[in-house]
Amino acid sequence: MYSKILILRFPKTEVQKPLVCNLARNFDLVFNILNAGILPRKEGYMVLELSGSRKNFKDGVQYLKSQGVDVQNASQEVKRDDTVCIQCGACTAVCPTGALSIKRPEMSVSFDQQKCSVCELCVPACPPRAMKARPIRQAFF
């Protein structure tokens, strides 16, 4: 059994199609959706764990790419540079998992990396650019 966590970004023309269900039906892959959403310009994103035989996994990823889906390996992590963070809380407004939150009564931003799904929504939302996505290790599929 081959398994990886992937980040999928769907163009607005594809968000209504059952592409992930087709992975199970047509490629005998098992998926676990870790996070998903529709962004303001109607593009979709999804973080999922995908499992199956190596051949089916590769064929399934090829299918997604042929449908215009940007597929990235989630072998990365989001880190916060505490020396740059100004504790403004802008990142907490976009964090879908609660990994970023306001600690009260201090009014400081708390980052729980265990809750982070690596959706990267906090990276562009951070005014001083304290949030960064970086590779954990180089991995290919």
Every domain of the chain and the residues it spans:
2-73, 76-135
- In contact, 55 and 20? CB cutoff 8 Å: no
Distance from C-alpha of 78 to C-alpha of 46, rounded to nearest angstrom: 16
CATH of domain 2-73: 3.30.70.260
**Predicted pLDDT of residue 137:** 53
Higher per-residue pLDDT: 118 or 102: 102
The topology under which CATH files domain 76-135 is Alpha-Beta Plaits (3.30.70)
User: In sequence order, which ranges of the chain are alpha helices (DSSP H)?
Assistant: 19-27, 54-66, 122-125
Is the model's pLDDT at 55 over the cut of 90?
A: yes
Percent residues over pLDDT 90 in the chain: 54
For the record, the structure tokens of 95 come out as 């964090």
Domains 2-73 and 76-135 share a fold: yes
